Structure 1
Amino acid sequence: MYGRGVSHASAPKEPQRIAKLLARAGIASRREIERMIADGRIAIDGKTLDTPATLVASLHGVTVDGSPVEAPRPARLFVFHKPAGVLTTERDPKGRPTIYDRLPKGLPRLIPVGRLDYNTEGLLLLTTDGGLKRQLELPSTGVERAYRARAYGEVSQAQLEELIEGVEIDGIRYGAIDANLERRTGANVWIELILTEGKNREVRRVLEHLGLEVSRLIRTRYGPFVLGDLPVGAIGEVRQHDLVAFRQTLAKGTKSDTAVEVATLPSPAPPARAGPVETPSPPSRARKQPGPSTRPGAAPDANRKRAPRGKPRATAPLAPNRPAPASDDRRRGPKADMAAPSDPKPTPKRRPGWARPKIKPGPKPRGGRGRK
């Protein structure tokens, strides 16, 4: 069997274009189905179609690649917490990330209900049924969408209440918006908005019309389905009895006041590893052997030889026919370069560490003498 099937509730009664019905059945997008018809892949009762304008009342007898379309299945509805920075589309020519890059594997082919901008985050409905998608998107059904916007600028509650009558911006008429000032945080304001239509960038354009600069936009509710505690990037499925009850309210034209939350679908477990993987330990760093301390006052190393206390004086090369100075001559200055006398006085040997005693200065004289 080919395709995902449609629900009985969404089965059309009047003849419609076959490309539209197959797209609602989840076979492929409408453009892709038109290409499949041009390639001769779709037939009715064994006769290959040659135009996407063929009108049919049902998909009975329709085959795709020789396989009949699946029997109708109940519609399924999912709630996805779209993060900012992804597109609500199947593929992007510029290679930017899309919502399908964030969805877990193993889900059926899902169609987004409406769109959220690239930088808008929050609740995004996904369904397997094209008819349900259309019911949720039409403004005539009156399904509410709730947003929370953070904007920079000044606005009053009176200005926001004027939006309940609708507003026209650049020739485009926007319907009634129930807007309320939630709170102020410094130079920013948080605003809650409820509307029943989803025109392109409607919330941002309306708030910019009021002189506000939107820095964050979150959709928190679509009809009775609320975002709740669903983590960013996670997806949950609406329970079948909640979906049936909601479709009944749509058929009656009434509004459901009961909020419907969803549980997060479990993420697929990662593939098991073949065996334990040993984590290599970081290479050990060789400790530097402590060398002789250069700190003032540090104890000298026992293995280091002590240098002599007295710094040896370099001896200049001697001139020819000039007697060498005595080895025990310790005189300093230019006189040390003169030749030693023929009969010098014996100089007493000084022990290492010997020094002349320092003479302490006496008490300063009292009185005016000696003062400058």
Structure 2
Amino acid sequence: MAGAVRINRYLAAAGLGTRREVEGLLRTGRVTLNGATCDEPATRVEFGDVVLLDGNALAAGATGVVFHRAPAMPLTIVHPGTLHAVLPLELQAGGIELLLADERLAQRLADPKFPLAAQMGPAQRRLRLGGIGLDELAPGEWRPIAPRELQRLRRGVRLPPTSG
């Protein structure tokens, strides 16, 4: 199923442990997917699914996603209005797309004065973006951005104070 990620990977990206470690959370019935208890690590999570741990929503999906876009695949397939693309690829180029919920951070990362934007040519962006890699994502697959990856991006950017 393209556009889905295994729940053990989703939970690991949320910072709950390694993929093996989070299988214990699944086995003990602490995880629900769209209201139903999920105990199978291979269960696929689609973008927009509701994943809860002990009744609490996980932050991984809310912060952003790493998406492996196939060449000529429109980004609108996985780009809801709440996520903002960082340095989007041209339509015919394939590779990593980084979508963030934090619009200010996405804009700052795309600023030509920022080292990430300045050093990234089309070929360089295909496999890595700001230290974030595709890992083993197949074209059309996505994963939540891990908290440590988001923290690494934020460390490299100084955001101006918000007005108001």
Q: TM-score, normalized by length of structure 1?
A: 0.24
Q: Quick one: higher RCO (CA 8 Å, sep 6+), 1 or 2? A: 2
1:235 to 116, 123, 142: 142
Q: In structure 2, what residue type is equivalent to 1:220?
A: L
Q: Decide whether the 8 Å contact of 2:83 with 2:103 is kept in 1.
A: no
Q: Which residue of structure 1 aligns with residue 76 of structure 2? A: 100
Q: How does 1:337-356 map to 2 (within 5 A)?
A: none
Q: Decide whether the 8 Å contact of 1:83 with 1:120 is kept in 2.
A: yes
Between the aligned partners of 1:218 and 1:240, the Cα distance in structure 2 is 21
Question: Which has more radius of gyration?
Answer: 1
| Shift, 1:197, TM fit | 5.0
Q: Which residue of structure 2 aligns with residue 248 of structure 1? A: 155
Secondary structure, in 3 states, of the residue corresponding to 1:139? coil
Between the aligned partners of 2:139 and 2:90, the Cα distance in structure 1 is 16
Q: Decide whether the 8 Å contact of 1:82 with 1:233 is kept in 2.
A: yes
- Following TM superposition, the consecutive aligned residue runs of length 4 or more in structure 1 with deviations greater than 4 angstroms are none
Secondary structure, in 3 states, of the residue corresponding to 2:113? helix
2:97 to 119, 124, 136: 124
| Shift, 1:242, TM fit | 3.0
1:138 to 87, 111, 128: 111
Between the aligned partners of 2:125 and 2:106, the Cα distance in structure 1 is 21
Q: Decide whether the 8 Å contact of 2:132 with 2:149 is kept in 1.
A: no
CA distance 1:133–1:83, change in 2 (3 Å): same
Unaligned runs of at least 5 residues, structure 1: 1-72, 87-97, 145-194, 204-216, 252-372
CA distance 1:130–1:82, change in 2 (3 Å): same
| Shift, 1:134, TM fit | 0.9
Q: In structure 2, what residue type is equivalent to 1:110?
A: L
Q: Which residue of structure 2 aligns with residue 196 of structure 1? A: 119
CA RMSD of aligned residues (A): 3.3
Higher helix fraction: Structure 1 or Structure 2? 2
| Shift, 1:129, TM fit | 1.6
Aligned length: 100
Between the aligned partners of 2:139 and 2:89, the Cα distance in structure 1 is 14
Secondary structure, in 3 states, of the residue corresponding to 2:154? helix
Secondary structure, in 3 states, of the residue corresponding to 2:157? helix
Q: Decide whether the 8 Å contact of 1:121 with 1:218 is kept in 2.
A: no
| Shift, 1:244, TM fit | 2.1
Q: TM-score, normalized by length of structure 2?
A: 0.50
